[in-house]
Amino acid sequence: MAERYAISKDIVAEGAAVPELVKLKLERNAALAEEKQKASATKKKDRADQRHSLKMRTLKYEKEYASHQRKLVTLRRQAKIDGNFFVEPEAKLIFVMRIVGIIKLSPKPRKVLQLLRLKQLHNGVFLKVNKPIMNMLKLIQPYVTYGYPTLKTVRELVYKRGFGKVNKQRIPLSANEIISETLGEHGLHGVEDIIHEIFTVGPKFKQVANFLWPFKLSAPKGGFICKRHGFCEQRGGDWGNREELINDLISRMN
């Protein structure tokens, strides 16, 4: 807090008689100025250290993503050589988006949408894949569409439409300090930390998902096909599980 002190600059003419109270004020201002200078230097050093450590962590994350992709490619090739099938790993993360409004909505789906923080049309949230979540999605399937986002999609959403919840207010993620103040106790100090925690569904996924305000997306370019019908129906539609094809829809809405 010391680096934000507002210190008045009082100048006394040379050789003039200085009252006792003015002397005390000048001494106090000099002490405060010194304290402010030290605090500013400390904060500058801390910020530089934090930026460097975040840069190192980002490089580590990139290596982790690349090695994971290489491992999958190797396994697919090996399965093809051996004449076997490669079973893709099950998704751990889903992105759920509301595609209908509030008209003619029964109480139970309305409550589930409220619990998932999907309170407006085209709102979207990241969720962990587990049995309770999948059971909740079954109740609201005709009102939402969901699928498995890629790293590119997660990154674009957080950077372009990412807002944090700070003191119950919707604050844009314009600086890493906003993240440090809220999630610093969990070891998360930057946007790349948030992206890594979400994409890998890490141990602090719950705190990060609660910190992120639900994403407010635009209407898709080219529009929807037919909201009354499911995506997996023969005639085609919009609601339901799109799996990897959710990325195409998000790119048209982001």
Please report whether residue 214 resides in a domain. Answer: yes
Least trusted range by pLDDT, from 150-154, 234-238, 245-249: 234-238
pLDDT band at 13 (very low <50, low <70, confident <90, very high): low
- Residue pLDDT, tens place only, 40-51: 888 888 888 888
Phi, psi of 64 (to 5 degrees): -65, -45
Report angle CA 166, 111, 93 to the nearest 5 degrees: 60
Enclosing domain of residue 163:
93-253
Is the same domain home to 76 and 198? no
- In percent, the amount of the chain with pLDDT more than 90 equals 68
Quick check: 117 and 125 in contact, CB under 8 A? yes
> In terms of Cα–Cα distance, which of 173, 158, 148, 170 is closest to 254?
158
Please report whether residue 210 resides in a domain. Answer: yes
Q: How many CB atoms neighbour CB 118 within 10 A?
A: 21
Please report whether residue 7 resides in a domain. Answer: no
- Residue pLDDT, tens place only, 142-194: 999 999 999 999 999 999 999 999 999 999 999 888 999 999 899 898 999 99
Quick check: 139 and 112 in contact, CB under 8 A? yes
Is the same domain home to 155 and 118? yes
Is the same domain home to 216 and 131? yes
Rounded Cα–Cα distance for residues 25 and 21 (Å): 6
pLDDT of residue 187: 87
Is the same domain home to 77 and 97? no
Q: How many domains does the chain have?
A: 2
DSSP 40-87: HHHHHHHHHHHHHHHHHHHHHHHHHHHHHHHHHHHHHHHHHHHT-PPP
Please report whether residue 161 resides in a domain. Answer: yes
Please report whether residue 8 resides in a domain. Answer: no
Please report whether residue 9 resides in a domain. Answer: no
- Residue pLDDT, tens place only, 14-34: 667 778 888 888 888 888 888
Please report whether residue 218 resides in a domain. Answer: yes
Handedness of CA 67, 69, 70, 74 (dihedral sign): positive
Is the same domain home to 74 and 103? no
Q: Is the pTM of this model over 0.85?
A: no
Is the same domain home to 85 and 142? no
Is the same domain home to 197 and 214? yes
Is the same domain home to 193 and 229? yes
Q: Which residue, of 56, 89, 122, is where some domain finishes?
A: 89
CATH code for the domain of 225: 3.30.1390.20
- Residue pLDDT, tens place only, 187-235: 898 999 999 999 999 999 999 999 999 999 999 999 999 999 999 888 8
Is the same domain home to 124 and 202? yes
- Residue pLDDT, tens place only, 111-147: 999 999 999 999 999 999 999 999 999 999 999 999 9
Is the same domain home to 82 and 98? no
